[in-house]
Amino acid sequence: QANLISSAEIAGMALSSLLSILWIGRFNWRKVALCALLAIVLGNLISTYITDFQLLVSIRFLTGLVGHGTAFALGIAAIGSTSEPDKNFGFTIASQVVMGALTLFFAPKLIAAYGIAGMCFPAAILACIAMTLTSRLAQSGGVQAHGSDANQTTGLSFIGKYGLPIAGLLVMIAWQMGVGPFFNNLFPFGISINLDPSEIGTALFLSTGLSIIGPLSASALASKVKRGIPVCLALAVQLLVVLSFQGEMTWAGFAIRAILFQTAWNFTGPFLMGMIATMDNTGRFSALIPASQLGGIAIGQAIIASLVQGNNLALINYFCAIVIFLSALIFIFISGKINRN
């Protein structure tokens, strides 16, 4: 039941990101933010008092659609409209790592003590705090300081005016098809090589915590180097780590690989998000980043589920390596077009 509730909210968030192209350039961002945060508060408060399971699933879907998803898409568009999107996306992902670690630490204790209210009340409180900051948000995206219409047309006129931003989203989708499902299958892989579940959990907890090095490094490098070389190196690390998860290995070998993979994953993200934002003068494509991330993971998981029979986990590695390699090829193509502008 917990998985179904979570899936409903994620589905709402993905749909919200897709729908954002309809309003991102039309409405005042501050008012949209207030409405989304209010929906988060109400959705989480209502959820704490619902006992009917189907109704709870519906409320979580609507909370994801109107609340979390709208706020997330708007936040990405707002960060993308800054003059240094790569750097600021790095800080964003670093904050997500911190919040994820805090949630992982506190959520089980709060849920055990207070039930679903242990998750919903903290989310509502954070939304209330965020409401006090909406006055500092830009009222709209407007024309970005870091791009021009030329960025959106050069070399990809065959798919229209917005060729490059669309291609950037394809990079994100292909990349997430590989990295997301691979990470989700690390626990089953650990079990398959006879590691204790608690040892696997410890390794993944360490890799998640230490992966904050990735986005902070990206932020530090963003204004000093072009994104092409660091992204290609990080994708190469991910590719090699994915292919190395085969055969027997010790706990240390498992943990080191997991740390390298997640650090490279979180290092790559800010640059890819910044690339899309740099090519986007409307904010619409930046707002589609959450949908491309969630959609890529969902597509990858679905393909893996249809391909893998029995306990053939090596096939997962090969599939993930192929789509990561494909994302690298598309990224190199786009980088070449951008550098010629």
- Quick: pLDDT tens for 28-79: 999 999 999 999 999 999 999 988 989 999 999 999 999 999 999 999 999 9
Percent of residues, the chain, with pLDDT higher than 70:
91
pLDDT above 70 for 156: no
Q: Residue 313: exposed, middle, or buried by beta-carbon count in 10 A (0-12, 13-18, 19+)?
A: middle
Average of per-residue pLDDT across 91-115 = 87
Q: Is the pLDDT of residue 3 over 70?
A: no
- The mean pLDDT of 268-277, rounded to a whole number, is 94
| pLDDT tier for residue 305 given thresholds of 50, 70 and 90 | confident
- Residue 285 above 80 pLDDT? yes
Cβ–Cβ under 8 Å, residues 189 and 312: no
- Position 188 scores a pLDDT of 86
Half-sphere exposure of 80 (CA within 13 A, CB side): 34
C-alpha 267/C-alpha 215 separation (Å) is 5
Residue bearing the bigger pLDDT, 10 or 175: 175
Looking at residue 336, what is its pLDDT? 84
SS3 99: helix
Residue 148 has pLDDT above 70, yes or no: no
Q: What is the mean pLDDT of residues 13-17?
A: 92
Helix (H, G, I), strand (E, B) or coil at 30: helix
> What pLDDT is recorded for position 26?
86
Residue 154 has pLDDT above 90, yes or no: no
Q: Residue 310 has what pLDDT?
A: 61
pLDDT at 158: 41
Q: What pLDDT is attached to residue 35?
A: 96
Calculate mean pLDDT across residues 117-135: 93
DSSP state of 21: G
Write down the pTM of the prediction: 0.86
pLDDT grade, residue 143 (50/70/90)? Answer: very low
Lowest mean per-residue pLDDT among 106-120, 230-244, 317-331: 106-120
Quick one: pLDDT band at residue 160, thresholds 50, 70, 90? low
CA 105 to chain centre: 20
Q: What is the CA radius of gyration of the chain?
A: 20
Distance CA 70, CA 75 (A): 8
Under the banding of pLDDT at 50, 70 and 90, the label for residue 163 is confident
CA-CA-CA-CA torsion for 16, 19, 22, 23, nearest 10 degrees?
0
C-alpha of 122 from chain center = 21
Greater pLDDT, 156 or 237: 237
What local confidence, expressed as pLDDT, does residue 102 receive?
85
More confident residue, 33 or 153: 33
Give mean pLDDT, residues 241-267.
94
3-class secondary structure for 13-30? HHHHHHHHHHCCCCCCHH
Mean pLDDT of the region 228-255:
94
Res. 91: pLDDT tops 90: yes
For residue 151, is pLDDT > 50?
A: no
Tell me which of 147-161, 205-219, 269-283, 311-325 is least confident.
Answer: 147-161
Tokens of 64: 């994801």
Among residues of the chain, what percentage have pLDDT more than 90?
57
pLDDT band, residue 116 (cuts 50/70/90): confident
Torsion of CA 249, 252, 256, 257, to 10 degrees: 20
